[in-house]
Chain A
């Protein structure tokens, strides 16, 4: 085969592969985008007309807003706790030499990627059961925070390491006490790092299904991730109007947060975000 023909064939082949990939990744997403606006929604992703009637299902269902609020409480609570604890730890670990620091951080990071989700589900379930934290949102927040903290400390310490020490040094020269240095110099400087880690934690908890599914039994306390799974009618058929609109409303915040962080800080999720 002569090289020119081979070149053309290669090009065509590459285009076909790329088109298939676009279809592969886009096809499941079609339903999320089209179904909320289509009259008489079913499993089939199609747009036969345009309507906003499906969103009435959101207003009518009494579980929708409490579950979104629960998601906000869980995600917001965990994110705040992660930010506060991680910022304190990351700053101290970055600026003060603690023996065995690097080994400790590395071991915790490894542990947190090993002890995730299912592998620790039974002891966590049992521990919260005996602490009386089953079916309480505080329990979910603490468990999720414990799982996210090692990576959060790791990311934030990286960030603090990159902040020049001369800021704090200058403040000290002018007689600021350690507390003042922390509040007026350090805090403003590391705020972008805290925001990034906070958004990362928020997105992680927002999408987490397993932990609240196992630890919360009362439907009125469950977050959107779990409640979405119960929108079936008596015959076991999914309530399409409700599920499609709910899925859209529930997904939008994650996408928006992601875009904001991506635009402001570049791609900051390398540390490993995984629903």
Chain B
């Protein structure tokens, strides 16, 4: 326990008995001693409001999805008056809907291309490069990457529309490719590149922090024994930052899975060619009013997220046991 003043030490014992709900042995030096004399009852009272809001607006919707997905609930028509129980009907509908299977495939492409590979690799390379970068290059590049990340989603979506516009877009002007309709011709490429641009900052920051934890002496030893840059990276750096790589990959995967911002750029179009699952759910459930069907798809999305998270935790635990 970090005690800054030794005089305070015996006081803890004196304060202990006055906290009736306190843990047994409250006078033992432990980090979570009830020093303010809060007592367990009041402590629970402190935690309760936060837990209540989380329970109502986060946990309950997640659980309710399971039930809703089994109904033919909709905003209009017969399903609005008296939703009936359709069991796994919504799931069977989903599997037979080519729009859903295409959407699932596009989501995997989007997540794999823009997050797992794009943001991950570019973020790592940026962090690696910026460690030794010149004084001018480092702040300029860092600020640009961060700006892409912190600006509001609606703004960056419009910036990209302006960049890619068919007639007057900046990109067509620069490349001399007049009348090239990027968004219509290559919608998936557009949203993948957009998301790399948008989200690389997080990976860069996380890897910057991770790389600073790699002992310099290890790198020097490797360099002196003649290891090339690539060998240093593979044999010294990667083993050290492996946990960070996993954490980063998990977070950006989950975020990208649920990312709605491509909707602002392509609207899922043309003809659903960039309709990833979040956009598909939005169109089916909120626009189309098929709430039961939308819930079923949402649950599939939640389950996919859960599988990813559990897989990551297992890998992480496996790594820990190894070392």
State the A residues within 8 Å of B (CB).
14, 18, 21-22, 24-32, 35, 42-45, 81, 85-86, 88-89, 91-98, 108, 110-127, 142-143, 145-147, 149-150, 153, 161, 164-166, 168-173, 177-178, 181-182, 185-186, 203, 206-210, 214, 224-226, 228-229, 238, 243, 247, 250-251, 254-255, 258, 267, 269-270, 272-275
Taken together as a complex, chains A and B put the C-alpha atoms of A28 and B194 apart, in Å, by: 10
Contact assessment for B206 and A270 in the assembled complex, using a CB-CB cutoff below 8 Å: yes
- A270 lies within 8 A of B47 (CB): no
A47 to chain B, nearest CB (A): 12
Residue of B nearest to A147 (CB): B58
Please determine whether A255 and B147 come into contact, CB atoms closer than 8 angstroms.
Answer: yes
Q: How many whole Å from A137's CB to the nearest CB in chain B?
A: 14
Complex Cα distance, B34 from A177, in Å, reads 13
Residues of B within 8 A of A164 (CB): 2-4
Q: Within the assembled complex, what's the spacing in Å between the Cα atoms of A93 and B31?
A: 11
* Residues of chain B with a CB closer than 8 A to A258's CB: 146, 150
How far apart are the CA atoms of A115 and B51 in the complex, in Å?
16
- Which residue in B12, B31, B286 is a CB contact (below 8 Å) of A125? B286
Which listed residue (A115, A125, A168, A210) contacts B35, Cβ 8 A?
A168
Contact, CB under 8 Å: B259 / A169: no
- The one of B4, B36, B199, B305 in contact with A166, judged by C-beta atoms closer than 8 angstroms, is B4
CB-based contact B37/A172 at 8 Å: yes
Q: Which residues of B contact A35 (CB under 8 A)?
A: 162
Smallest CB–CB gap between B83 and chain A, Å? 11
Decide: A122 and B298 in contact? CB cutoff 8 A.
Answer: yes
Residues in B with CB closer than 8 Å to A168 are 35-36
Answer yes or no: B144 CB below 8 A from chain A CBs: yes
21 contacts between A and B (CB under 8 A): A21-B141, A29-B148, A43-B168, A45-B162, A85-B53, A91-B46, A92-B44, A97-B32, A98-B44, A115-B302, A119-B298, A142-B56, A145-B53, A146-B56, A149-B58, A150-B54, A173-B15, A207-B153, A209-B264, A226-B154, A275-B261
B175 to chain A, nearest CB (A): 11
Chain A residue at smallest Cβ distance from B305: A114
Residues in A whose Cβ lies below 8 Å from that of B150: 203, 254-255, 258, 273, 275
Pick out which of these stretches binds chain A: B60-68, B93-101, B213-221, B233-241: B60-68
Q: Are B65 and A120 in contact (CB under 8 A)?
A: yes
- Beta-carbon nearest neighbor of B65 in chain A: A123
Residues of A within 8 A of B137 (CB): 18
Complexed CA–CA distance, A189 and B305 (Å): 38
Q: Is the CB of A116 within 8 A of B170?
A: no
Residue of B nearest to A108 (CB): B54
Across the interface, name the chain B residue whose C-beta is closest to A150.
Answer: B54
A89 to B50, CA, bound (A): 7
Q: How far is the CA of A85 from the CA of B55 in the complex (A)?
A: 13
**Does B8 lie at the interface of the complex (its beta carbon under 8 Å from any beta carbon of A)?**
yes
Q: Cβ of B243: which chain A residues have Cβ within 8 Å of it?
A: none
Is B314 close to A, CB under 8 A?
no
Q: Which residues of chain B have C-beta atoms less than 8 A from A91's C-beta?
A: 46
CB-defined contacts of B133 to chain A, threshold 8 Å? 18
Judging by beta carbons under 8 Å apart, are B158 and A247 in contact? yes
Name the residue in B37, B44, B306 with the highest tally of chain A Cβ atoms < 10 Å from its Cβ: B37
